[in-house]
Structure 1
Amino acid sequence: MGLYLPDAIRLHARERGTRAALSCADRTLGYAELHSRTNRLARALLTAARPGSRIGFLARTRTEAGEILIAAAKAGLVTVPLNWRLSEAELTALAQDAGLRVLLTEPEFRSAADAVHAALPGLRLVIIDSPAEQQDRQEQPDPPDSPDPSGPAQAADPAVPGYEAWLAAHPDDDPGRGGRADADEVYLQIYTSGTTGVPKGVLLTHTNFHAERAELEESRWQPGSVALNALPLFHIGGLGLLQMALSAGAHSLLLPDFTPEAAARTIEREGVTHTFLVPSVLHLLTELPGIERRDFSRLHLVSYGAAPITPALLRRSLSVLGCRFQGKYGLTEAGGTVTRLAPEDHRPGGPRSHLLGSVGRPRPGVRVVICDPGTGDPVPPGTVGEIRIASAHNTPGYWNRPQETTELYDARGLLCTGDGGYVDEDGYLFLTDRVKDMIVSGGENVYPTEVESALAEHPAVFEVAVVGVPDDLWGEAVTAVVVPRRDLPRPGEQELIDFVRQRIASYKKPRRVHFVGELPRNPAGKVLKRELRARLRQSHQ
């Protein structure tokens, strides 16, 4: 087993204290400094919350977000990362559901934080300010008194401390929590992205969510590795990459605002060795003009996941980036990664090229069972059913939702993912879609991923999503929503339908094709098919 995060930071502070741990913009923290600062923050948090309490952070991907995660674990507190893209009403509802005791936020989200504070009067609000921002504020004249004493508190209000001053006021004294003795304590509460309904708080213990030694070794993580993390830290993908890099003693470069150019420049200039990219980001990066001329020679491994990837995009990514790739399938409720498609399985054009459509084999200690969604009985290899999981990484449940927690597990104790797929004779898992996303058209089952993969082969298709829309004749009509490439003439609807019919069974072809400028996505990069279905149903009424 690998180290839990607090113990990893303690170890690296002793053995490689001056080595860079976290960087964002022009600020870099070494491991010794990170250890010291998180000790101070842990002590500060314990003045406002008892062990087991929930603390939230509402911030972009920056060094302080990493500090909060580590410090809370050292203090025995539960971190609740909040999605800064949500509305004030949504954020307030999540904060109330979690019962936050502390909220740390940056000035950009102060309005939303004040709304949360108003709904939770006992909440301790802290404004994240870097040392440079703190100095700037100190040099500014005091603001005039507010004419409305009941108005929002300002950052200068002593009741709302600045982050740096709050740390400085507390001792460098490690509370000592978050080690092996605390293995079964919850330390993360991550709210699901809510593509199918109201977000639920997924509980994760140190055992559920930590970097295992086998994972570090198979991905060749080492203290000299450099990771680019451009994922939001309210998502398990971003948190997982951060935890992996810190556990390995590597250097994490945090990118608060992703652009293809910024990512490419960082990979090239900083000698990035590891990164995790969702398919939509891979699309943007590989389409960047001149990307083939970039020097990515130090890039060792690109992991991808969080949403289905088409074989066409994967082949282009392999060609353009020229490094090793590994695919990952997982979900928050399963503690992150469930299966892994190893780099040696990424061989376009070879006898095993069909594996590019797979998400790989289960990680060590994980058992994947394909079950009939109606009866719950296991089905033979090659048969499509619901993916269910047995693993020590599975969540103990949802926060304050006993009914949903009960429904998450079947009678055998397997976690029900809601994802459809099948396992081949060699144990490779192939996704077909969410069980509820399967389309029944003319009495035949159609899996959108298969249609999307066929359409993505067309040179003029940039992105595509396929959903079922109610139809009087077919029951559900297979409907494609296509983002065309801007540098090529837009294809016609019939042209795309005929293109698919030449590649897969005719009954699977789209009955309708809609062209759009972009697909709706949640912050994790997943296409919001629920929203697409709603739009298309409305347009056909």
Structure 2
Amino acid sequence: MSGVIREYNTFADVIRRHAQERPDAPALTFKGDTHSFAQLHDATSRTANMLASRGVGPGDRVALISRNRPEMFELIYACNKLGAVLAPLNWRLSQREIAQILSDCMASVVIVDEIGEGLLPDESSEVPVLRFGPDFDEARAAASGDDPGHSGGPDETALILYTSGTTGLPKGVMLTNRGMSYTRELAKAWGMDSESVNLVAMPLFHIGGCGYGSSTMLAGGHTVLMAEVDVLEILALIPRHRVTHTFLVPAVVQSMLNAPEVADADLQSLQLLMYGAAPMGDVLLRRAMDAFGCKFMHAYGMTETSGTVVILEPESHDPDGPRSGLLKSCGRALPWVELRVVDPATGKDAMTGDVGEIWLRTPMVMKGYWQNATATREAITAEGWFRTGDAAYLDEEGHVFLFDRFKDMIISGGENIYPAEIENVLNGHPAVAEVGVIGVAHEKWGETPLAVVVRKAGQAADAGALIAYTRKNLATYKCPSRIVFVESLPRNASGKLLKHVMRDTYGATS
């Protein structure tokens, strides 16, 4: 495979090198407070030693439930300096979902902000909890600033990111030092170097946050972190810090364009806007290109691949050119990524233009699913090919055109939603006999879940009651926006739910 990195550097190795070679250069800014690489190196060593004093060692999991804050980057490096594994959890999940993940994770310590603390299970737990704030700051300051010195091997797990599965059960994706080291190569592909300034608005529990968010920092550049997406703040931060790069989902780009303030915003420093989770579309792209005046790049990847594996380069973003059709593509595989489109019926490569399942083979592919050998075997073949579950076709030049999702995944505002999760919850309601969930078009979020429900005989629960029930048990963004009641669901002779019929009936996104 061309482009394979023969050497790798861990997160810990990179921060050590930057602290030595460019100690005073800005590394991380949050709410106007900037830390240099030397300061970040010192803080991460102190955090590592604080964790070690609480019994955290190689291989131990450190769970994290928090909105974006600079300590989250510190913890990525601190855990790597110990050989521990950071597991940042989605603070948008429900308490039930968090409890399920914490039970699976078996963390040695849980670190929370005020939102994360409110999500901790009600029942008592022997796992110690650290809370961001004065106590955390004092404990870190009191710890030794000596580097613990751990330098992990290529196959050592650096991060566990939890992703929902088709069964509705969360799965912990184990990402290795080698897999995450390709973030440096991605930084080069995105034109980042030590002079770059990267605005990070994506949540750090997401690979688009902790992966993409690490890119410029690993390249020796300056990272400007946001607590969460705020359109007006984005427009203010770009000129304030002379931001050169950022990653945004199309829904956020559209919100920025709809803000009156964009007309007077100074965006001249912006060199590249990366987007993913959904195509930009030629109408939105034209507006964005006119307003932002920078290059655009489409990225395709997933948690299991340590981030981006396919890109549509800026040169292909020409909505008025002879190859404008490429805007429907997510691009071509990066040099160190092998990509196949496989006919699931035969297991052989599909012909050009024929739809099949995307298979990937690259050192970026996860080590496996934490404590789930069965799911790992189902996802990764004996030859090392990762089966994405995404359906696509290739053109003659190797451009990937997503066609559909074998897993029926819904993408709403850049968040992945699996219908099985919603179906599992609704099936627990006493009034629900059967339910099928599909994604339907939404003007703001791209897609939103629609639940088609068959009531149990004699039950009269209305749509509002069912939506409220899901909101008690699921993250709000996963909950259906609409409930449709029917007498029966479409099924084939074997009883399989025919979701393509449901999509046709209810005008779902194809």
TM range, smaller chain: 0.7 to 0.9
TM-score normalised per structure 1:
0.74
Partner Cα separation in structure 1 for residue 213 and residue 393 of structure 2: 31
Match of 2:20 among 14, 17, 23: 14
Is residue 3–residue 212 contact of structure 1 (8 Å, CA) maintained in 2? no
**Cross-structure match for 1:110:** 117
Distance 1:8 1:393 in 2: 18
Offset at residue 172 of structure 1 (A): 0.9
* Equivalences for residues 17-96 of structure 1 within 5 A: 17-47=23-53, 48-96=55-103
Partner deviation per Cα, 1:424-466 (whole Å, 9 max, x = no partner): 001111111212449xxxxxxxxx99xx9xxxxxxxxxxxx9x
CA distance in 2 between counterparts of 1:94 and 1:413 reads 27
Q: CA deviation digits over 1:452-506, x for unaligned, max 9?
A: 9xxxxxxxxxxxx9x9xxxxxxxx9x99544389xxxxxxxxxxxxxxxxxxxxx
SS at match of 2:149: coil
Query: Does structure 1 residue 409 correspond to structure 2 residue 380?
Result: yes
SS in 2 for 1:535: strand
Question: What secondary structure, in the 3-state scheme, does the structure 2 residue paired with 1:344 have?
Answer: helix
Corresponding residue number in structure 1 for 2:461: none
Residues 1:230 and 2:201 are matched in the alignment:
yes
Letter of the 2:91 counterpart: W
Uncovered stretches (5+) of structure 1, i.e. residues with no partner: 135-161, 439-447, 453-464, 468-475, 486-519
The answer to whether the 8 Å contact 2:27/2:36 transfers is yes
Deviations 1:238-257 (A, max 9, x none): 01122102101111111113
Contact persistence 2:154–2:176 (CA under 8 A):
yes
Q: Counterpart in 1 of 2:502?
A: none
| Deviating 4+ runs (over 6 angstroms) | none
Within 5 Å, which residues of 2 pair with 1:152-191? 162-178=135-151, 182-191=153-162
- SS of 1:164's equivalent? helix
Residue 73 of structure 1: how far off its partner (Å):
0.6
- Corresponding residue for residue 252 of structure 1: 223
Q: Give yes or no for contact 1:277–1:302 (8 Å, CA) kept in 2.
A: yes
Q: Check conservation: 2:318, 2:324, Cα contact below 8 A.
A: yes
Question: Which residue matches 1:390?
Answer: 361
* C-alpha RMSD of the superposition: 3.0
- For the residues of structure 2 that align with 1:355 and 1:125, how far apart are their CA atoms? 49
Partner of 1:120: 125
- Describe the superposition over 1:7-45 as per-residue Cα deviations: whole angstroms up to 9, x where unpaired: 111111112111211111132211101101101111111
Aligned residues of 2:23 and 2:37 also touching (Cα < 8 A): yes
For the residue of structure 2 that corresponds to 1:245, the secondary structure is helix
Mapped contact 2:95–2:119 kept (Cα < 8 A): yes
| 1:77-96 C-alpha deviation (Å, 9 max, x unpaired) | 00000111112221121111
- C-alpha displacement at 1:192, in angstroms? 0.6
Q: How does 1:250-399 map to 2 (within 5 A)?
A: 250-399=221-370
If the length of structure 2 is used for normalisation, what is the TM-score?
0.79
CA contact (8 A) 2:11 2:76 kept: no
Name the SS for the 2:187 alignment partner. Answer: helix
* TM-aligned CA distance change 1:479 to 1:396, over 3 Å: closer
Contact 2:183 2:214 in 1 (8 A): no
In 2, are the aligned partners of 1:237 and 1:306 still within 8 Å (CA)?
no
Work out the percentage of aligned pairs sharing the same amino acid.
37
Residues 20 and 28 of structure 1 are in contact (CA less than 8 Å); yes or no, is this contact kept in structure 2? yes
Q: CA deviation at 1:536?
A: 4.1
Summarize the Cα distance change of 1:539–1:527 in structure 2 as closer, same or farther, 3 Å threshold: farther
Q: Following the alignment from structure 1 to structure 2, what is the Cα–Cα distance between the partners of residues 211 and 338?
A: 10
Query: Gaps spanning 5+ residues in structure 2: where?
Result: 420-435, 446-469, 490-510
Structure-2 separation of matches of 1:214 and 1:258: 26
Residues 83-114 of structure 1: CA distance to partner in whole angstroms, max 9, x if unpaired? Answer: 1111222112111100011111113332323x
SS of residue matched to 1:330: strand
- Summarize the Cα distance change of 1:304–1:538 in structure 2 as closer, same or farther, 3 Å threshold: farther
Following TM superposition, by how much is the alpha carbon of 1:399 offset from its aligned partner in structure 2, in angstroms? 0.5
Shift of 1:178: 3.7
For 2:109, the aligned partner's letter is V
Q: 1:540 to 1:296 in 2, by over 3 A?
A: farther
| Worse overlay, 185-194 or 72-81 | 185-194
Distance across 1 between alignment mates of 2:61 and 2:242? 37
Q: Which of 97, 108, 111 is matched with 1:101 structurally? A: 108
Aligned pair partner of 1:241 in 196, 207, 212: 212
Kindly state the Cα deviation for residue 209 of structure 1 after the two structures are TM-superposed: 1.4
Give the SS at the match of 1:430.
strand
| Equivalent AA in structure 1 for residue 131 of structure 2 | I
Amino acid at match of 1:111: G
Q: Deviations over 1:115-158 (max 9, x none)?
A: 37x4531x1211111xxxx3xxxxxxxxxxxxxxxxxxxxxxxx
Aligned partners of 1:244 and 1:216: how far apart in 2? 5
Counterpart code for 2:376: T
Secondary structure of 1:200's aligned partner: strand
Partners of 1:251 and 1:195 lie apart in 2 by 38
Give the counterpart of 1:535 among 478, 483, 488: 483
CA distance change for structure 1 residues 303 and 400 in 2, over 3 Å: closer, same or farther? same
Larger mean CA deviation between 90-99 and 189-198 belongs to 189-198
Distance in 1 between the 2:106 and 2:371 partners? 11
Residues 1:197 and 2:202 are matched in the alignment? no
Please state how far the C-alpha of 1:412 moved relative to its aligned partner: 4.2
| Aligned equivalents of 2:38, 2:244: Cα separation in 1 | 23
Q: Can you list the C-alpha shifts for 1:499-541, whole angstroms capped at 9, x where unaligned?
A: xxxxxxxxxxxxxxxxxxxxx99xxx9986x947x83466998
**Per the alignment, do residues 342 and 483 of structure 1 end up closer, same or farther by CA in structure 2, a change over 3 Å counting?**
closer
Matched residues in 2 for 1:310 and 1:526: separation? 27
